[in-house]
Amino acid sequence: MKLRFSTLAALALSLWLSACATISIEPLPEGLTNQPPSDWSQRQLQLQALQHWQLQGKLAVRQPSDSGSAVINYWTQHQEAFELSLSSSFLGLGTTELKGVPGFISLTLPDGETYQSGDPEGLVQAATGWQLPITSLPWWIRGLPSPASDYNLFFDADQKVAMIRQDGWEIRYDRWNQFMADKPELPARITAVKGEKRVRLAVTHWQPLGAEPSL
């Protein structure tokens, strides 16, 4: 009985070691660490507390099917509700407006045609040809991972968030800026990459807004 038990134990150990040998551990990006700085929890709470804001800037999309750029006339965020106004010759003369909350979006094209859908990413792609991670962008633009799915955070030598990996996207934080004196630094330029898809956001102005009045 002892011999049989020892044999089974050795076999189990061998199988476990073999399985471990097949697990590939992805190396850390060069120059980055996945160990958060000591003040990360506090900074995270400050960024999460910024729930009413507006920014202006530029958006550039490069994808195998369609590429183009747009001016962000304004992106207004009130907690989970957003309004986004884009101007681009690629999208047509005039402005394209998006309004939505998680799980619902309304999109108005420059010609006045309005479309609504419970699939924000699907509607944007159908109307513009662009694949944009609309649901996660309000988090990523603040330098935060979306709470909707698993993620990996990486920090640079200055102890700032340098990269987020989530939902197949790699969000790279190229520059930060002190847009508001009483707020932590916010992203001034980010690049989101997923395969051959690349989305770049450059923020030129960012300001806090008061909370929307209750109805």
Look at phi and psi of residue 92 and say left if phi exceeds 0, alpha if psi is from -120 to 50, else beta: left
pLDDT of res. 26:
62
Digit-coded pLDDT (tens) for 52-70:
999 999 999 998 877 888 9
Using a pLDDT cut of 90, give the percent of the chain over it. 59
Average pLDDT over residues 84-113: 85
Q: Which long-range contacts (CB under 8 A, 24 or more apart) does 57-61 make?
A: 57/201, 57/202, 57/203, 57/204, 57/205, 58/201, 58/202, 58/204, 59/86, 59/199, 59/200, 59/201, 60/199, 60/200, 60/202, 61/130, 61/132, 61/198, 61/199, 61/200
Residue 98 identity (one-letter amino acid):
L
pTM: 0.81
pLDDT of res. 22:
39
Look at phi and psi of residue 179 and say left if phi exceeds 0, alpha if psi is from -120 to 50, else beta: alpha
Written as six digits, the tokens of 207 are: 């300001």
Architecture of domain 40-206: Clam (2.50)
**E strand segments, 89-196:** 92-101, 104-108, 114-117, 151-155, 161-166, 169-177, 186-194
**3-state secondary structure (DSSP) of residue 153:** strand
Digit-coded pLDDT (tens) for 132-175:
888 899 999 999 999 999 999 999 999 999 999 999 999 999 99
Summary mean pLDDT of the chain:
84
pLDDT of res. 138:
93
pLDDT of res. 181:
85
Annotated domain spans of the chain: 40-206
Evaluate if residue 2 carries a pLDDT over 50.
no
**3-state secondary structure (DSSP) of residue 51:** coil
Residue 78 identity (one-letter amino acid):
H
